Structure 1
Amino acid sequence: MFFSVIIPTYNRRPILAKALLALENQNWEAQYEVIVVDDGSTDDTLAWLTAHRPQLSHVTWVQQHHQGPAAARNLGVAQAQGDTIVFIDSDLVVTPVFLRSHGEKLQAAYAKLGHQKCFTYGRVVNTANFEEPTSEPFKITDRSRAFFATGNVAIAKSWLELAGGFDADFQFYGWEDLELGVRLKSMGLILIPCPSAVGYHWHPPFELKHIPSLIDKEIQRAKMGVLFYQKHPTWEVRLMIQMTWLHRVLWAVLSLGGQLNEHTLAPLMQRLIDRGQSQWAWEISRIFLNQYNVRAVYAAYQEWRLASQR
């Protein structure tokens, strides 16, 4: 089994450095490569990669103009020499047994099933600890119900090629991996959980100054969610993208009709941040962030319907 680890990145040099050094420290004797696809970064990502080439014996890199993660992953797959693709994000730091865990679980599944129509899905732990990201414990909020998400997944390259790869129409934040997952599921692929393949997803500690960019991200995600629904107009997708009356009622109630928002909740969130409880502040922010998302989903949906009627 020859792994090709594909990592799209955009302006994440500090945490990317940790991610790549962790991948150089793998307890895996088989052949593997790491392909970084720089999606038009404007920081010093490429300069850092060039300067640290001697420390990155498994790493190669390619660059594209900023087109989003879907196009970046497709480019990485096209460059891959391996028969098995591992997708991780550029802010994910893995443990030394990461590749071994995916490899052994895949081989065991192939032997048990008698075919290779499956993929492994590892565990992702969210952390704000930059110095020691792998020290973060697994939390209930880290559980994922996604069928196929590119934060930590290993799959035979042939299945990606048969599915047609990622849809490059998804140029903004969100849904390109789950959309591919819908197609993979329709092809009969089976998800094999691989909890021992752990990746620690780093994000900076939550601060109030992050709120405008988080709101913008929710609006982007909503627009891509409606694109997802255009391609797969099913109830399952409506649930995924929160385009149901249940979600409208849920977040309207939880936000007290919008009265609990980024302004009214700011004093409480700041007190939690000051006490070193930024994770709780982040959880509270999800009340109004989800409300923004649901509103943006319906706005994008109405815009699409009006455009399609012209």
Structure 2
Amino acid sequence: MTLSVIMPVYNREAYVGAALRSLLRQQDDADLDIIVVDDGSTDGSNAAVRSMMRQTSRIRLFEQPNMGVTKARNTGLRQLLPQTRLVSFLDSDDISPAGRFKADLSCFDRDPLLELTYSRMTLVDELDGETLEPAAGGHSITVRGIHLSAGIFARSLVDRIGGFDEEFRQAEDTDYLLRVFESDAKYTMPDTVALYYRRHPGNMTKEADVPFREFMRAIYKSMKRRRGDPSLRRIEGIFDFKDLAQWRFL
């Protein structure tokens, strides 16, 4: 069962190699197809990806002019293989913990009708470059956050939901996840840690007011959809909003 993992990259030379290594160390647990979309990087990101490609055939690289993360994600969706049955995501500055795929893919083995696993995430401010684990002495918090990498999506669900809304500059992932959960997809929420979210000065989420404004727009669009169609599922008890508020105190 092929699992395609979509990774947009823009100027992440310092991090993308570790992100790819964190996926490749799990290649015995999944038939991995890694789709890297270089969104017009101007640093050495492209070269770092190509260096990893010399070690494996599991990475496919697609290049485009800089058009933003939303369009890069849609480019990745258009490159899914015919045999892809599961889809996930990993940002190029984050880490996929060892054993994540083995744990969550077993849920699909047990339930052929399952469409989504949605696991937890750990926010960290320091990672060990060798082990790719949270560094001793660093700060971290594990939550049920809002992140695409927390999910493994059945191909049938991805096809049903469609692409990312390219009107969003940010929060396209929030909008996508809300549409997924509204759709009455069959899901389970394992306690697996699906990603280490690396906090660093270059995170998009540290821009001034853009993230909050885009996040609220995604919430508003969800409310508008559900008012217009009462059959859509309410989004309750999925995300740890209270715990997410602690991000700024780490």
TM-score range, shorter chain: 0.7 to 0.9
Change (3 A) 1:54 1:27: closer
> Aligned residue for 1:221?
211
Q: Does residue 90 of structure 1 match 2:80?
A: no
1:35-74 matched pairs, under 5 angstroms: 35-74=35-74
Measure the CA separation in 2 of the matches of 1:135 and 1:84.
27
1:44-193 matched pairs, under 5 angstroms: 44-81=44-81, 82-108=84-110, 110-111=111-112, 115-116=113-114, 118-130=115-127, 131=129, 132-136=131-135, 141-146=141-146, 149-171=147-169, 173=170, 175-193=171-189
Contact 1:20 1:56 in 2 (8 A): no
Q: Please tell me the residue identity of whatever aligns with 1:6.
A: I
Identity %: 23
Q: CA RMSD in A?
A: 3.2
> Aligned residue for 2:26?
26
Change (3 A) 1:140 1:48: closer
> Aligned residue for 1:201?
197
Q: Which stretch of structure 1 is more off in the superposition, 158-167 or 186-195?
A: 186-195
- Please give the secondary structure, in 1, of the residue aligned with 2:71: helix
Contact 2:3 2:32 in 1 (8 A): yes
> Aligned residue for 1:262?
none
Measure the CA separation in 2 of the matches of 1:219 and 1:283.
18
TM-score under structure 2 normalisation?
0.77
- Please give the secondary structure, in 2, of the residue aligned with 1:94: coil
In the alignment, structure 2 segments of 5+ residues that lack a partner are 228-233, 236-244
Which string of whole-angstrom CA distances, capped at 9 and with x for unpartnered residues, describes residues 67-111 of structure 1?
222221111111011111011211222233222122112222x24
- Please give the secondary structure, in 1, of the residue aligned with 2:8: strand
Q: Please tell me the residue identity of whatever aligns with 1:23.
A: L
Q: Please tell me the residue identity of whatever aligns with 1:54.
A: R
1:47 CA drift (Å): 1.7
- Between Structure 1 and Structure 2, the one with more helix by share is 1
Contact 2:90 2:96 in 1 (8 A): no
In the alignment, structure 1 segments of 5+ residues that lack a partner are 238-250, 252-278, 285-310
- Please give the secondary structure, in 2, of the residue aligned with 1:55: coil
Change (3 A) 1:140 1:45: closer
1:55 CA drift (Å): 1.9
Measure the CA separation in 1 of the matches of 2:148 and 2:205.
20
* Structure with the larger RCO, 1 or 2 (CA within 8 Å, 6+ apart): 2
Change (3 A) 1:55 1:192: same
- Please give the secondary structure, in 2, of the residue aligned with 1:28: coil
- Please give the secondary structure, in 2, of the residue aligned with 1:48: helix
1:41 CA drift (Å): 1.4
Measure the CA separation in 1 of the matches of 2:149 and 2:11.
17
Contact 1:125 1:136 in 2 (8 A): no
Larger Rg: 1
Change (3 A) 1:219 1:145: same
Contact 1:92 1:151 in 2 (8 A): no
> Aligned residue for 2:249?
283
Q: Please tell me the residue identity of whatever aligns with 2:134.
A: S
Q: Please tell me the residue identity of whatever aligns with 1:3.
A: L
